[in-house]
Amino acid sequence: MPKVLVSDPIEQVGLDLLAQVAQVDVQTNLSPAELVAIIPGYDALMIRSGTRVTAEVIAAANQLKIIGRAGVGVDNVDVPAATRKGIVVVNSPEGNTIAAAEHTLAMMLSLARHIPDANVSLKSGAWERKPFTGVEVYKKALGVIGLGKIGSHVATVARALGMRILAYDPYLSIERAEQLGCRLVELDVLFSESDFITLHLPKTPETQHLINAAALAKMKPTCRIINCARGGIIDEAALAAALKAGKLGGAALDVFETEPLRESPLKDLGLETILTPHLGASTEEAQANVAIDVAEQIRDVLLGLPARSAVNIPGLRPDVLEKLTPYMQLAETLGNLVGQLAGGRVESLEVRLQGELATNDSQPIVIAALKGLLSPALRERVNYVNAGLEAKERGIRVVETRDSDERDYTGSLQLIAKGPLETRSVTGALLGADELRITSIDDFPINVPPTRYMLLTVHRDMPGIIGKIGSLLGSFNVNIASMQVGRKLVRGDAVMVLSIDDPLPEGLLTEITKVSGIRDAYIVNL
């Protein structure tokens, strides 16, 4: 019988399901060294957010087939290391949506009516009412940042409470926002017009400290902010300072920059803050949902069947998967690249399959391209199963074209993303069996392998410009691993693609865009 290690507390219903096909060992509170020592004996690992599945754990896991995260976030799993080892990572993207949305609404109403402090006051023997005078949410403006699964449920219920909804989500179509009864606005408008602001977006390098001192200064002094998404989207020090100075009405937080939350100025504040220990998903229903969802996927994979919410490896037959995997990696990488270049709202994606790719089953390639396209917005919530549906719900039209003529490569793939303002395109191919190459950007010919950190510029092809960019990067201590320029016309426009060893330091992009001749510059993280 296969063996499953359960290293975080999981609802019994999920364990019972697994026990039908496997030996289930529950061992919580393992130290990292203990986990590394025992993992070699297991075929599956089931976790919540408490276990860190590091590259070291994965290296020791010599018979592991699947890691199941009972919840959404897989930030505690080294997914690239698992992928390299062929270990499927699955999660439950929807099992706790309602729980997190309801916790948000409870936080909003508690903040408006001071329920936690009033409760403590009464239980300590007092009967005080004046200090707990609250505000109504009826007819107030709620700003929702991130109108995905949780944000849209919060918006729907808040509308029923009589609130006006402003929303900011750069990846969502205006039509979808309108269907939800929300007005899509720019971030600054949301900051300045909202009475309540709630966050429902992923934490990414771009959203880290989205709510900083400058953003807080744009909000009404009575504005109340709720974060049941991820710690780190709010700069906690700036938030505490704004609350202390009376420049903000209140804050209710379920998630923190470091969890568990230890020393924090937020703890010293009074009525204006409500803090809960990452309870968003902690309902009986959500815990049962995620436990069943993930246990079923572990069971299926142990029985040789595909998983339905694989974060990393799609549920295809092994022989088909082996043949298509490099092309799917290419499609996902190009999708991610064109998504980052398009910079947000995409209305249509054209997938052009050329050469031998045009004769293959295109469905997995198209899905992989959509997964890549949506991953800057949705992170681990988009997978091979829901990518098509997520794209449809976001109003992205997918057009597929085929051209079986072989050009420079036996098979190549072009993705063209059209947004309301501009169209961006990228092409790629395989070199040998599985080496990925980007072969054009916006029809400028290049030939570069995709790397983790890249810098792209569109500039005038003129003497001195490459040197200036090189010295600017040098002055910020950025090491260039490779550099290539592609142009269509001598002294016309050109693109420059640089692979760099580390993320681009803050402020450098602005300096680059100031260089004479540079039309545009983009950071791309693949």
Ligand X SMILES: O=C(O)CC[C@@H](O)C(=O)O
| CA dist list (Å): 37 to 20, 32, 33, 80 | 26, 9, 6, 21
Q: Of 311-319, 377-385, 433-441, 488-496, which segment contacts ligand NAD by CB under 6 A?
A: 377-385
Active site residue 200: no
Tokens 């060992």 belong to residue: 25
3-state helix, strand, coil in the chain (%, to 5): 35, 25, 40
Q: How many CB atoms lie within 10 A of CB 334?
A: 28
**168 contacts which partner out of ligand X, ligand NAD, none, CB within 5 to 8 A by kind?**
ligand NAD
Q: Does 145 bind ligand NAD (CB under 6 A)?
A: yes
CB of 437 vs ligand NAD, minimal distance in Å? 29
Give the sign of the dihedral formed by CA 510, CA 511, CA 516, CA 519.
Answer: negative
47 or 167: CB nearest ligand X:
47
How would you class 420 by CB atoms within 10 Å of its CB: exposed for 0-12, middle for 13-18, buried for 19 or more?
Answer: exposed
225 binds, among ligand X, ligand NAD, none (CB under 5 to 8 A by kind): none
Strand segments, DSSP code E, in 278-410 are: 348-355, 397-403
- By the 8 A CB rule, do 303 and 315 touch? no
Please count the residues of the chain: 526
- Chain center to CA of 225: 21
Catalytic, out of 278, 345, 352, 424: 278
Alpha carbons 305 and 325: distance in angstroms, whole number: 17
Least separation in angstroms between CB 202 and ligand NAD:
5
Q: What values do phi and psi take at 441, rounded to 5?
A: -130, 125
Rounded Cα–Cα distance for residues 264 and 253 (Å) = 13
- Report the partner that residue 377 touches, choosing among ligand X, ligand NAD, none (CB closer than 5 to 8 A by kind): ligand NAD
Minimum CB separation of residue 24 from ligand X in Å reads 19
In degrees, rounded to 5, the angle at the alpha carbon of residue 286 between the alpha carbons of residues 102 and 20 is 175
Give the pair of three-digit tokens for residue 182. 């929300």
Residue from the set 30, 38, 52, 73 that interacts with ligand X by CB under 6 A:
73
Q: Give least dist CB 144 to ligand X, A.
A: 18
User: What count of Cα atoms within 13 Å lies in the side-chain half-sphere of residue 220?
Assistant: 17
- Among 36, 49, 276, 360, contact with ligand X (rule: CB under 6 A): 49
Decide if residue 230 touches ligand NAD (CB under 6 A): yes
d(CA 66, CA 3): 11
Task: Return the number of the residue (11 or 272) whose C-beta is nearest ligand X.
Answer: 11
Nearer to ligand NAD, 286 or 330 (CB): 286
* Joined tokens for residue 362: 């295109």
- Rounded least distance, CB 71 to ligand X, Å: 3
Identify what 201 binds: ligand X, ligand NAD, none; CB under 5 to 8 Å per kind.
Answer: ligand NAD
Residue 522, contacted partner among ligand NAD, ligand X, none, CB below 5-8 A by kind: none
Q: What secondary structure letter does DSSP report for 145? A: E
Q: Is 459 a catalytic residue?
A: no
β-strand 444-448 against 435-441: which pairing, if any? antiparallel
Number of helices and strands in the chain (H, E): 17, 22
Task: Please report the DSSP string for 70-105 in residue order.
Answer: SSS--TTB-HHHHHHTT-EEE--SSTTHHHHHHHHH
Largest CA distance in the chain: 83
CB of 227 to ligand NAD, least distance (A): 9
Among 14, 68, 146, 249, binds ligand NAD (CB under 6 A): 146
Task: Work out whether 155 is an interface residue with ligand NAD (CB under 6 A).
Answer: no
72 contacts ligand X (rule: CB under 6 A): yes
Considering only 254, 293, 332, 442, the residue that binds ligand NAD (CB under 6 A) is 254
Query: Least separation, in Å, of the C-beta of 312 and ligand X?
Result: 17
Query: C-beta of 277: minimal distance to ligand X in Å?
Result: 10
What gap in Å lies between CA 358 and CA 207, rounded to an integer? 38
User: Contact letters (x/-) for ligand NAD, 395-434, by CB under 6 A?
Assistant: ----------------------------------------
- Please give the single-letter amino acid code of residue 108: M
User: Among residue numbers 95 through 114, which ones bind ligand X (CB under 6 A)?
Assistant: 96
Tokens found for residue 119? 């409760």
Pick from 35, 43, 48, 274 the residue near ligand X by CB under 6 A: 48
The beta strands (E) that lie in 217-257 are given as 224-227, 250-253
Selected from 67, 324, 368, 378, the binder of ligand NAD by CB under 6 A is 378
* Paired tokens of 396: 């992205």
Which of ligand X, ligand NAD, none does residue 149 bind (CB under 5 to 8 Å by kind)?
Answer: ligand NAD
Known active-site residue 230: yes
List beta partners, residue 355. Answer: 411
Candidates 171-179, 275-283, 404-412, 489-497; binding stretch for ligand X (CB under 6 A): 275-283
Residue 391 in the binding site for ligand NAD (CB under 6 A): no
Partner from ligand NAD, ligand X, none contacting 49, C-beta within 5 to 8 A by type = ligand X
CB of 369 to ligand NAD, least distance (A): 17
- With CB under 5 to 8 Å by kind, the binding choice for 525 among ligand X, ligand NAD, none is none
Distance CA 327, CA 333 (A): 10
Q: Does 293 bind ligand NAD (CB under 6 A)?
A: no
Q: Which residues are catalytic?
A: 230, 259, 278
Residues that bind ligand X (CB under 6 A): 48-49, 71-73, 96, 278, 280-281
Residues that bind ligand NAD (CB under 6 A): 72-73, 96-97, 100, 145-151, 168-172, 200-202, 206-207, 228-230, 254-255, 278, 280-281, 377-378, 381
